[in-house]
Chains A and B, each alone.
Chain A
Amino acid sequence: MHRDVELAHRITRGERKAFEEFVDAYGARVHRLVRRYVENCTDAEDVTQEIFCDLHRSIAGYRGEAALSTWIYRVALHHCWKYREKRALATVPFDEQFAEAPGDDWRMDPAASAAKGELADKVRTALDALSQPHHDVVVLCEIQGLTYQECANALQIPIGTVKSRLFHAFRRLRGLLGSYVQDAAVLCPEAAIERE
């Protein structure tokens, strides 16, 4: 926490190196978060840039009451919500730029690779079909790897609400992806081992 406050103070003083450290530490995570809300890569980059500009402007207001990452996620989520409201999209259309590039196993096992890619698409589509509160907790907890407490701080909700939303979100995801996940588990060796 003390390190976060010191970094924030250095950025407030206008140190270029401090802001570079800040971008290196949180840039990938923020961009990953934005990609879950913004449909194409160009817009995602624009929103990420706006988020960091806003963070640089308002970092003087960071008091160290929460972790810096929590504060960053809160700001980033506000930008993402604003983007979604502006676009008024119920679901995010598939963007082929988000699709995974075929890996090396594509030549070894084309069927398994195709099934894996299809599953990734289905997971993404199902995630976008969730309601906004459920989507938020899934993105923060599962994709960004935040703890329940950090997620609760970022969304400013009780921790029990995070737990409940996460459970309901996963129940819905199971309904949407159940068959695909079971099939993929059969095709995916790690999942098959885990199932055994």
Chain B
Amino acid sequence: MKSCGEQQANIKAYIDGELPLWERTAVWWHLLRCPRCREARNTMTEIGRRLAADDAPALDPALRARILSSVTYTDAGAARRMSAAPRRPGFPLLLLGGATAAVVVVFVLMKGPAAVTPMSQLKHAGSPAASGAAVPASQTRSAVGHAVSAPGPPVSPAAAGGTSSVSPQFQADTLAKDEKASSRAAMPEAQAKMVHEPAKAPAAVTLQQLKSIDSAAGRQSVSERAGAGAPARRAAGSADTGKVVVGDMEQRPARPGADSAQQSASAYAPKPGQLLNATVPVARHALNKAAAGGGRRQQPAGRKQAQRTRPKHSASNAAAMPQVK
């Protein structure tokens, strides 16, 4: 027989009908004899009745409508199915980009070196100052990764002035294309635009290569063939077309007819073997000088000398600075 305290622990379960038969009988028997436990039973029943009394019978219609409107139904199943599928974000864009790149590559390959060698067109147009680095597309692509050390594929014979250190077949093809392009390159505006415009495809060639090509052909060097301002223009043109390594710009002996723009360009020129990544503004600076005055004003040989001769932050100095666009 359980004590009164032990039976009280079962009173709530007895009220709720959660006791097995034999325990329920025991509690019933105890309640008959114990007034305290009967009092406890009555109080618990009343409390339970009061607790369950103020329940809302049904859901508020406004809240029901709110709940139903907050959930998307048919789309939810579709969204779940969609989310189960593997996602490939941007795949059509990737495809489009790849196709565009392929078209560009095919176009460049079909056009050959003439498509990326505006200076060769200038040369054939009869301009004596137009001489630059013409680089085939194959070398252009290889030069992006390793600009200088790439073994030299055939340089355009148009750029090299018809020198024949390249294969005869390649030279014949390129000359045929350059003949077509020579009429377009005859316009001076086109020349200036080609010089000033940034190149569409980067190119890399060393002047050392150009020189070796020239020497192999037994002709004049590139710098010798070019007229006044040619080195600066060549530097600008080649720098505009991409990374250029100036190998012997300072070591080359100054010719008697070289103008001041050449000196200025050589003063800003990097050391041999150095990548000329930042030579575009420098080359343009020299080009502007050559176009404006043709070397009538003697420029200082170096930056330090310029600082010594000119006062800093003067208005005249600012006005005298070339406008590089």
Contact = CB atoms under 8 A, between A and B. Distances in A.
Interface in A111-143: 119-120, 123-124, 127, 138, 141-143
Interface in A1-60: 12-16, 19-20, 23-24, 27-28, 31-32, 35, 45, 48-49, 52-53, 56, 60
Given A123-B50, A173-B47, A35 B63 contact: no
Interface stretch (A62-70, A71-79, A80-88, A159-167): A159-167
Q: Is the interface of A mostly helix, strand, loop or mixed?
A: helix
B26 interface: no
Interface of B: 8-13, 16, 18, 40, 42-60, 63-64, 66-68, 70-71, 73-78, 80
Given A14-B78, A173-B47, A174-B44, A120 B53 contact: yes
Contacts of A119: 50
Interface residues of A, number: 52
Contact of A27 (B8, B18, B64): B64
Given A14-B77, A31-B59, A163-B13, A142 B42 contact: no
Contacts, number: 124
A178 interface: yes
Interface of A: 12-16, 19-20, 23-24, 27-28, 31-32, 35, 45, 48-49, 52-53, 56, 60, 98, 100, 119-120, 123-124, 127, 138, 141-143, 145, 147-148, 163-164, 166-167, 170-171, 173-174, 177-178, 181-182, 184-185, 191, 194-195
Q: Which 4 residue pairs spanning A and B have beta carbons closest together?
A: A14-B77, A27-B59, A16-B73, A28-B59
Given A27-B64, A49-B63, A177 B56 contact: no
A48 B62 CA distance: 12
Given A14-B76, A163-B13, A143 B55 contact: yes
A181 B16 CA distance: 19
A143 B68 CA distance: 25
Contact of A35 (B47, B56, B80): B56
Given A27-B64, A184-B50, A194-B45, 5 more contacts: A28-B57, A52-B70, A143-B52, A163-B18, A177-B47
Contacts of A167: 8-13
B46 A23 contact: no
Interface centre among B60, B63, B77 (most CB of A within 10 A): B63
Given A14-B76, A31-B63, A143-B51, A19 B57 contact: no
A45 B66 contact: yes
A89 B55 CA distance: 23
